[in-house]
């Protein structure tokens, strides 16, 4: 019996843009997502933490934290895949990859890096300050 799930997207264009940006700026998270997590999800192994359950629609929403650099986590936040499982239909709805702001901005314009961390064009002083502060705390 085949228990394979299929992927659908809440907004495929937006999701693919974030996926490509993730591939460009955070290869560790992208490789984990594509080569480990997607096959596991398709086979019915739901990864991450359960954040919501709707008994009337028979859906479960999950957040899967992807591996990334500690400095990136502290500056921009954790990289997470958000998805909803429709168990009776055997469908996984891929909804979002967060942090939204830096991934969207990375698609629109080439981002610069400072000490190995992506720096936002909308608030570069804030990101550089965070990186410098975190580096001073580690010394």
**What is the per-residue pLDDT across 66-123, written as a single tens digit (0 to 9) for each?**
999 888 888 888 999 999 999 999 999 999 999 887 887 766 677 777 777 778 777 7
Looking at the predicted structure, is the pLDDT value of residue 1 above 60? no
Q: With 80 as the cut, is the pLDDT of residue 53 above it? A: yes
Is 0.85 surpassed by the pTM of this model?
A: no
Burial 84-100 (b: 16+ CB within 10 A, else e): bbbeeeeebbbbbbbbe
What's residue 39's pLDDT?
96
Sign of CA pseudo-dihedral 12, 14, 18, 24: positive
Predicted pLDDT of residue 106? 67
pLDDT at 127: 81
The pLDDT of residue 107 is: 65
The chain-wide mean pLDDT, for the chain, equals 88
Whole-number pLDDT of residue 31: 95
3-state secondary structure of 57: coil
Report the SS3 class of residue 45.
coil
Token pair 């499982």: residue: 85
What is the Cα–Cα distance from 102 to 111, expressed in whole angstroms?
9
Q: What is the pLDDT of residue 2?
A: 61
Contact 121, 111 (CB under 8 A): yes
Query: 134 and 126 in contact (C-beta within 8 Å)?
Result: no
Confidence at residue 52, expressed as pLDDT on a 0 to 100 scale: 95
């Amino acid at each position: 019996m085949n228990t394979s799930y299929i992927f659908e997207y809440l907004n495929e264009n937006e999701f693919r843009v974030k996926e490509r940006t993730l591939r460009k700026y955070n290869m560790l998270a992208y490789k984990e997502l594509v080569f480990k997590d997607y096959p596991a999800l398709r086979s019915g192994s739901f990864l991450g933490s359960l954040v919501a359950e709707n008994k009337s629609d028979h859906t479960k929403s999950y957040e899967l934290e992807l591996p990334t650099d500690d400095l990136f986590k502290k500056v921009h936040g954790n990289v997470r895949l958000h998805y909803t499982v429709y168990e009776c239909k055997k469908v996984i709805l891929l909804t979002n990859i967060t942090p939204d702001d830096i991934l969207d901005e990375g698609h629109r314009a080439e981002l610069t890096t400072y000490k190995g961390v992506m720096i936002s064009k909308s608030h570069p002083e804030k990101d550089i300050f965070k990186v410098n502060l975190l580096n001073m705390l580690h010394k």
